[in-house]
Amino acid sequence: MQILKILRKQGYQIVGKHSGVKICHWVRKALTSETICYKSKFYGIETHRCLQMSPAVAFCTNRCIYCWRILPGERGAQWEGEKIIEEDDPKYIVEKAIEAHRRALTGYKGNPKVLKEKLEEAMNPKHVAISLSGEPMLYSRIGELIEEFKRRKMTTFLVTNGTLPNVLEKIVEPTQLYISVSAPSKEIYKKVCRPLYEENWEKLLTSLSLLKSFNCSTVIRITLVKGLNMEDPSGYANIIKIGMPRYIEVKAYMHVGCSIWRLGADAMPSHNEVLSFAKMIAESSGYEIIDEVPASRVVLLKGG
């Protein structure tokens, strides 16, 4: 498939027919300069031991304007629909994803800035972020995939856009479940998330209503794009109240990847702008700001 060739050129390790792995920027920094990511500061993960992957690397139900992946039609890239036709086995995906992760790290063996012991730890990841690209719920065996990672004693961080509530309500619980909410209303949702299906907004609201049924840690992630969705904090608060997650992450759109073809650098809010908007959401929702990481332009809120 053409899209997989493009992703390989962009540094993705393609796994099987529809999955992908890519070493996170923060994993690289953790190895070379002892820097940690915001997930480490907020939730205590070991940055250098995190595997970033997706079981649906080229497939999604939205065409978010801020997405870093290439979208159908861009630069002449085309591929068939948004359905995975032939699915790989979960155990195969996990094994090959870890192999791909290790393969991508081998270049650090001769780096004098990298401690040998730390690299060996990185080669044996403890955490997996199922969030690299695409919508992971489009892989029908996502629950089995989570179970397979758990069997390997790995914590699982699953990010979904919430458009597949029928899958969400049956899923095996990850360590932490994120739902992306990038608009305070259906009108803005259409502009920012550019859904493939008219009913995606209503499905997102249904998914949010399911959050209360989960025992794992739950998060609503709000990606702010200046000039597009940084308005109506009370609207965001009303949506938050549907799901009442444990945490809310309010973070800036980052001008990286293929998003630079759709948005200018001025669409990326500063950390102070993110913090200011997060304060308004906190006031409207009853949540409290408990942490922030200026380098990542992200603010963490927690419910009472």
Can you give the residue ranges of every domain in the chain?
A: 2-302
DSSP state of 108: G
| CATH of the domain spanning 2-302 | 3.20.20.70
* Residues pairing with 300 in the sheet: 249, 291
DSSP state of 194: -
Query: What pLDDT was estimated at residue 11?
Result: 80
Of 103, 92, 8, the closest CA to residue 57 belongs to 8
Of 181, 164, 250, 246, the closest CA to residue 212 belongs to 246
* C-alpha dist (Å) from residue 44 to 49, 50, 57, 178: 12, 12, 26, 16
Whole-angstrom distance, CA of residue 129 vs CA of residue 297: 19
Whole-angstrom distance, CA of residue 23 vs CA of residue 28: 7
Query: What pLDDT was estimated at residue 1?
Result: 57
Burial pattern 138-168, b for ≥16 Cβ within 10 A else e, equals bbebbbbbbebbbeeebbbbbbbbbbbbebb
Query: What pLDDT was estimated at residue 83?
Result: 75
- Name residues of the chain where pLDDT drops below 50: none
Whole-angstrom distance, CA of residue 135 vs CA of residue 131: 8
Query: What pLDDT was estimated at residue 7?
Result: 79
Query: What pLDDT was estimated at residue 185?
Result: 97
Query: What pLDDT was estimated at residue 177?
Result: 98
Which segments of 80-188 are extended strands (E)?
Answer: 127-130, 155-160, 176-180
Q: Kindly calculate the radius of gyration of the chain based on its CA atoms and give it in whole angstroms.
A: 18
- Per-residue model confidence as pLDDT tens digits over 141-181: 999 999 999 999 999 999 999 999 999 999 999 999 999 99
* Sign of the torsion angle spanned by Cα atoms 280, 235, 158, 269: negative
Q: Are 142 and 189 in contact (CB under 8 A)?
A: no
Query: What pLDDT was estimated at residue 107?
Result: 87
Whole-angstrom distance, CA of residue 67 vs CA of residue 232: 22
